[in-house]
Amino acid sequence: MPLPDLARVTSHSSVALAAGAENITTMEPAPAMQPAGSAAAPAESDTASTGIFGRAMQGGFIVFTCLLILLSMSVVTWAVLIAKYVYLQRLAKSGEAFTKSFWDSRSLNDLNSRLAEYPYSPVREVFRSGYAELVRGSQLLGQVASSEIAVNAALDNINRALGKAKMFERRRLEKFMSMLAISASACPFIGLFGTVWGIMGAFEGIAKTGSASLAAVAPGISEALVSTAFGLAAAIPAVVGYNIFAARVRYLVGSIDGFTADFLNIVERYLVSDKPRASAGSSPSAAAQSPLDSRI
């Protein structure tokens, strides 16, 4: 066998020793092998640690603005829900208490003198308007020649006064319910607008990167869907609360209608009776007080 060339072996050995010395001097570790899925691990951990507001910020300015609008409307909606529930419950209790006192009182005049003792209720305000018109109408009975015309005029005036008072109280009962209607109808569309805008941005990112994989599409879509989730979270309580309060307002308006009918029955029985005509001859003040000082 031919002997190896000593010069060539020596040169190779010196090169290897020089490389080893350089590695020892720099102390650089050899590159380690990484698994195939390790590159995606940091991205997954970042996505998991990102909160809702962080996702919305990543979705862009429009998506974040929609989220802030929805949060504001949600706060207003819950404030109206809580305040309206407490308000309607209090009105229902005070209205029932006043109606009971109306039937238990000795006379309309006695009840009117104690109105300040009762808390506010729609029924109380309707009674106040009807009572004031009854006093004015009873004073006409002794001043008009035809009692039938006076009675009809007084009943019409009282009926209009009660109707006006009921209309005003109904508007007061429905106060702020328009905010619930706006939230119920507008919040889903605001959330949908933010979602569509965010998905548009996600597709633009796909077009720039040229990657249509699920890993590239999913973050942008999840950030955009946050807006829709907040829209539904604000709209659902508004829809439920609006329907509950609308039914409650209808119940209270029905109570006002029942009280109005009872009040008109009492007044009409007085006006068509002989009491005002009998007392009209004595003094107008007595005629004015006769329907008020006795329960008819």
Q: Check residue 127 and give its pLDDT.
A: 94
Residue partners of 161: CB distance under 8 A and separation at least 6:
129, 130, 132, 133
d(CA 202, CA 244): 40
Burial class (CB in 10 A: 0-12, 13-18, 19+), 166: buried
Q: Can you give the residue range of the structural domain that contains 126? A: 58-289
Q: In sequence order, what are the residues at sequence separation of 6 or more whose Cβ sits closer than 8 angstroms to the Cβ of residue 181?
A: 238, 242
Identify the pLDDT of residue 286.
Answer: 42
Distance of alpha carbon 100 from alpha carbon 96, whole angstroms: 6
DSSP H or E run through 184:
helix 177-209
Residue 154 counted as domain residue: yes
Three-state secondary structure call for residue 106:
coil
pLDDT at 186: 94
Structural domain count, the chain: 1
* pLDDT at residue 195, rounded to an integer: 84
Whether residue 88 is contained in a domain is answered as: yes
d(CA 228, CA 226): 6
Q: Please count the other Cβ atoms lying within 10 Å of the Cβ belonging to residue 259.
A: 22
Model confidence pTM above 0.85: no
- The one-letter code for the residue type at 251 is Y
Whether residue 71 lies inside any domain: the answer is yes
Cα atoms found within 13 Å of the Cα of residue 235, Cβ hemisphere only: 16
Token pair belonging to 261:
């009918």
Tens of pLDDT along 245-274? 999 999 999 999 999 999 998 888 877 774
| Secondary structure letter of residue 3 according to DSSP | P
Answer whether residue 27 is part of any domain: no
Residue 235: the pLDDT is 94
Residue 225 CA to residue 196 CA, distance in Å, equals 9
Residue 113 forms part of a structural domain: yes
The position carrying tokens 């009282």 is 158
Type of residue at 245: F
Residue 18 lies inside a defined structural domain of this protein: no
Q: Which tens digits make up the pLDDT trace of 184-193? A: 999 999 999 8
Q: Specify the pLDDT at position 60.
A: 66
* Residue 11 belongs to some domain of the structure: no
Q: Which stretches of the chain drop beneath a pLDDT of 50?
A: 1-4, 6-49, 274-291, 295-296
User: How confident is the model at residue 212, as a pLDDT?
Assistant: 64
